[in-house]
Amino acid sequence: MTAQAPAKRLYIKTYGCQMNVYDSERMADVLAPLGYGLTDTPEGADLVVLNTCHIREKATEKVYSELGQIKRLKDKADGAMTIAVAGCVAQAEGEEILRRQPAVDLVVGPQAYHQLPELIARAHRARGERLAAEFAADEKFDALPIARNPSGVTAFLTVQEGCDKFCTFCVVPYTRGAEWSRPVEAILAEARDLAAKGVREVTLLGQNVNAYAGEGGLAGLVRRLAQIEGLDRIRYTTSHPRDMDEALIAAHGEVEALMPYLHLPVQAGSDKILKAMNRGHTAEGYLRLVEKIRAARPDIALSGDFIVGFPGERDADFEATLQLVREVGYGSAFTFKYSRRPGTPAAALPGQVAEEVKEERLARLNALIEAQQRAFNAAQAGRVLPVLFEKPGRHPGQLVGRSPYLQAVHADAPDRLIGRIVPVRIESASRMSLAGALELEPA
Ligand code: 5AD
Ligand code: SF4
């Protein structure tokens, strides 16, 4: 087979969550038939797409500084470059982007990616095409090509979008809209297609993935996916404690393909703050839930998201967060300083916390979580873990894969083991990864 050189170069930069990573792949797919091939740098690109994130102020500001740099490249190319801003910043402040950065040709929100080819054609005719995402999400999925060419042995698969929870700090219910679930059959078809192309592990994506409302809920979906030949590992992210129902907990105990690693954000450990965040559960409620999940699947490891410095957070509230972290014991976690987002209820709350206080709390929380992560990784030493090898490592003769707990694992192994799940004896651990040796040389 001869690969035809793509006529036009496409550069996509992705910010933020895994949903954006998935969406970027879909955008590349939808543009490929127009002759766009991916390139690693914006220099010389015909089309630059920034797939943006709006979750915190810093993420948003990064987009504008990146746009400034790309504008210089566009000037150097005498304007022969189309610049598109996609993702949640496009959705939330499309007009402002066009006003602040005249080099931008088009903005496109997450519900409208299937219209990219048409939008780009229109942008070539007239600058400043605007698009509000008034389109139904099912239209988006129906219109995007399903025949993807996954780059490796793992893939993301969006099953749900949007959020109805309205945590008071969060822009997602506004940028991604109401909760919406893809039909089971469409997901199964995509999963079978991925498996046929060599994908061994899927991560089901949704802003509120365990609120999946297709037939049978997320538990039912996981059980059906587990029956697909070749799909050996299933993960899902990100979940809300309120949607962790009995059926899903039971699935963790019964479905072998469901990996024993769960991202279950709690955000804070003080009931007063949880209430002000509109989380809909207490610290005790979360701890009881974790206990139940561990009863169903004793070897499960947890990760989470935490926000420090939410309005009204006093020292005692922050101590309650540390205490909750100590009680749960996380395999890893993401930590954030509260970022005031215009238009969200928390932005108007009294008791905004000083930046230095946020910094100091973040450092203390990070130290605790880092220690837990190190201890969790170190505890794997001496164990034999099934590792799904994904790609060559940095050293010759080495492969990198993932443990069930999503730890990166390095081991000397032949290339033919890429895409296979192989027992590896773990010999050493660092904060970010593990190293080991093949337990036995597989045929
Ligand atoms: N400030 C800081 N962190 C936030 N998150 C969401 N909104 C904000 C905000 N305004 C965090 C939450 C969420 C994760 C994706 O980002 O912890 O779970
Ligand atoms: Fe944002 Fe809360 Fe919805 Fe998560 S559950 S996306 S934090 S509103």
Question: In this predicted structure, what is the pLDDT of residue 366?
Answer: 97
User: Using 50, 70 and 90 to split pLDDT, how confident is the model at 2?
Assistant: very low
Q: State the distance from the centre of ligand 2 to the C-alpha of 211, rounded, in angstroms.
A: 12
- Which amino acid, one-letter code, is at 72? R
Specify the CATH architecture of the domain 384-438. Answer: Beta Barrel (2.40)
Two tokens, residue 350: 């009294």
Q: Does domain 8-135 have CATH number 3.40.50.12160?
A: yes
- Nearest ligand to the CA of 310 is 1
pTM of structure: 0.89
pLDDT tens track for 75-105: 999 989 999 999 999 999 888 998 899 999 9
Q: By C-alpha distance, which of 173, 252, 175 is closest to 210? A: 252
Q: Report the atom number in ligand 2 closest to the C-alpha of 163.
A: 3
Q: Report the atom number in ligand 2 closest to the C-alpha of 207.
A: 6
Share of the chain above pLDDT 90, in %: 81
Q: Ligand 1 pocket test: which of 53, 54, 56, 163 has the largest number of ligand atoms within 8 Å of its C-beta?
A: 56
Nearest CA to ligand 1 atom 7: 170
Question: In this predicted structure, what is the pLDDT of residue 440?
Answer: 79
Question: In this predicted structure, what is the pLDDT of residue 135?
Answer: 43
Sign of the CA dihedral running 179, 223, 248, 203: negative
Q: Ligand 1 pocket test: which of 17, 20, 53, 55 has the largest number of ligand atoms within 8 Å of its C-beta?
A: 55
Which residue bears the tokens 């095409």? 129
3-state secondary structure of 52: strand
User: Using 50, 70 and 90 to split pLDDT, how confident is the model at 441?
Assistant: low
Nearest CA to ligand 1 atom 6: 170
Question: In this predicted structure, what is the pLDDT of residue 139?
Answer: 61
Q: Ligand 2 pocket test: which of 163, 244, 307 has the largest number of ligand atoms within 8 Å of its C-beta?
A: 163
> Please, which contacts does 142-145 make with residues 24 or more away whose CB atoms are closer than 8 Å?
143/114, 143/115, 144/26, 144/29, 144/30, 144/113, 144/114, 145/29, 145/30, 145/33
Nearest CA to ligand 1 atom 14: 305
Phi, psi of 438 (to 5 degrees): -55, 130
Give the Cα separation of 208 and 216 in Å (integer).
16
Query: Does this chain's domain 146-259 share its CATH topology with 260-379?
Result: yes
Q: Report the atom number in ligand 1 closest to the C-alpha of 339.
A: 1
User: Using 50, 70 and 90 to split pLDDT, how confident is the model at 146?
Assistant: very low
Mean pLDDT computed over 66-82: 94
Share of the chain above pLDDT 70, in %: 92
Mean pLDDT computed over 323-350: 96
Q: Which CATH number fits domain 260-379: 3.30.750.200, 3.30.56.10, 1.10.3470.10, 3.20.20.330?
A: 3.30.750.200
pLDDT tens track for 402-439: 999 999 999 999 999 999 999 999 999 998 899 999 99
Lowest-confidence range among 48-62, 118-132, 220-234, 350-364?
118-132
Mean pLDDT computed over 15-44: 92
DSSP 37: E
Q: By C-alpha distance, which of 119, 38, 58 is closest to 85? A: 119
Q: State the distance from the centre of ligand 1 to the C-alpha of 392, rounded, in angstroms.
A: 34
Two tokens, residue 67: 């746009």
Mean pLDDT computed over 183-211: 95
Mean pLDDT computed over 320-339: 97
Mean pLDDT computed over 100-121: 88
Question: In this predicted structure, what is the pLDDT of residue 134?
Answer: 42
Q: State the distance from the centre of ligand 2 to the C-alpha of 341, rounded, in angstroms.
A: 13
Q: Ligand 2 pocket test: which of 170, 209, 338 has the largest number of ligand atoms within 8 Å of its C-beta?
A: 170
Query: How do the domains of the chain map onto residue ranges?
Result: 8-135, 146-259, 260-379, 384-438
Q: State the distance from the centre of ligand 1 to the C-alpha of 209, rounded, in angstroms.
A: 16
Q: Does domain 146-259 have CATH number 1.10.600.10?
A: no
Terminal C-alpha separation, the chain: 29
pLDDT tens track for 215-253: 999 999 999 999 999 999 999 999 999 999 999 999 999
56 within ligand 1 shell (Cβ under 6 A): yes
- Averaging pLDDT over each range in 25-34, 100-109, 155-164, 249-258, which range is the top one? 249-258
